[in-house]
Amino acid sequence: MGFATAESVVMAGLDLVPVSFAAIEAKERISVENVPVDVYPIGERDEVIEEVKAKHPDLLVIDFTLPDAVNSNAEFYVRNGIPFVMGTTGGDREKLVRDVSESGNYAVIAANMGKQIVALQAMLQYAAKEFPGAFSGYKLDVVESHQSTKVDTSGTAKDIVTSFNELGMPCEEEDIVKVREAKQQMEQMKVPEEYINGHAFHTYTLTSEDGTVNFQFQHNVCGRRFYAEGSVDAALFLAKQMEKKSEKKLFDMVDVLNAGAMR
C-alpha cells in the first residue's frame, strides 16, 4: 500500500520525499517511478527525521502500515509536529483520536481512502441519522475478504456496520466474517486470482425477519491504486487546511468529500 501511494504521489505531479521507514534491519534503496527512495529501519527514525524536516519543511506523511504500529506511529508524528494522513486500520482508535486531538496536530484519519466508498459511507450515515430503526427486525450478515497479510477486521466494514446498527440491525465486530484463504476468496467471494494479494471485497446482506425480503450492498476493489489515489487527495486537502490555518485540525474522509477535494 505504501509503494502504491508513493507511485500515486509521483503520478499526481507532487514532490515525493525520498525517505520511508519499515521493519527492516538495514537501510535499503528502492525506486518509485524512477525516484530513488531510502527506506530506513524503524528504529532509526528519530535520528533521520530531523534531517528530513530540515530539508523538507512542508513535509506531510501518508501512513499505511500494520495495525500494531498505528498508535506508536501517530505518537511519533505528534511528537515531531508532522501532519499526516492515516489510512491504516486497527490499533486503539479511541487513543489515536484522543492523542491527535489533544496535540493540535493536523491529520486526516480514516478507515477507508476510496472516494466512492467514502460517499457510500456518508449516505448510510445520513440514512442512519434521518431514518433510525428503518430496518428493525432485519438480520445483517457481513462478509469481507482481504489479502492474507491483513490481520485485523476491515475498518470500513466496522464503520458501515455502525450505520446499519442505527438503522435497526444489531451486529458486532465478531459477527463480521473475515475471509483470508485464497481458495475461499476465489470460490465464494469471486476474487480474480491475480488480485488475491491485493483486494478488498465486502458484502452486506439484509434479510427480513420472515426471509421474504432481501437487500444486498457490495463494494469490491481489486488492487491498491484506488485507495492510494484517495490518500493523495486527503493529503492535498490537509495541506489546504494548514495553509488557511483551519481551526479544525482533525479530519476524516467525509470532510475531504464535503470539501469537494476528490480529484
- Calculate the dihedral angle through the C-alpha atoms of 21, 4, 111, 172, rounding to the nearest 10 degrees: -100
Q: Which of 115, 150, 199, 202 is catalytic?
A: 150
Is domain 115-223 given the CATH code 3.30.360.10 in the classification? yes
Half-sphere exposure of 110 (CA within 13 A, CB side): 29
Read off the pTM: 0.79
Q: What is the pLDDT of residues 189-229, one digit of tens each?
A: 999 999 999 999 999 999 999 999 999 999 999 998 888 89
Confidence of residue 260 (pLDDT cuts 50, 70, 90): confident
Nearest to 191 by CA among 143, 226, 141, 145: 145
Integer CA distances (angstroms), 14 to 9, 58, 61, 262, in order: 6, 12, 13, 16
What residue segments make up the domains of the chain, in order of their start? Answer: 2-113+226-258, 115-223
Candidates 3.40.50.720, 3.40.50.300, 3.40.50.2300, 3.30.470.20; CATH matching 2-113+226-258: 3.40.50.720
Assign 67 to helix, strand or coil.
Answer: helix
Predicted pLDDT at 207: 98
Average of pLDDT values for 80-88?
Answer: 93
91: cell is 490499533
2-113+226-258 and 115-223 in the same fold: no
What's the confidence (pLDDT) of residue 263?
57
Which listed residue (115, 146, 158, 219) is catalytic?
146
Query: CA 125 to CA 258: how far, in whole Å?
Result: 14
User: Mean pLDDT, the chain, as a whole number?
Assistant: 92
Q: Is the pLDDT at 150 greater than 90, yes or no?
A: no
Alpha-carbon span 55 to 44, nearest angstrom: 17
- CA atoms 141, 147, 148, 154: torsion sign: negative
146 is catalytic: yes
What does the pLDDT look like over 26-73, one tens digit per residue?
999 999 988 999 999 989 999 999 999 999 999 999 998 888 889 999
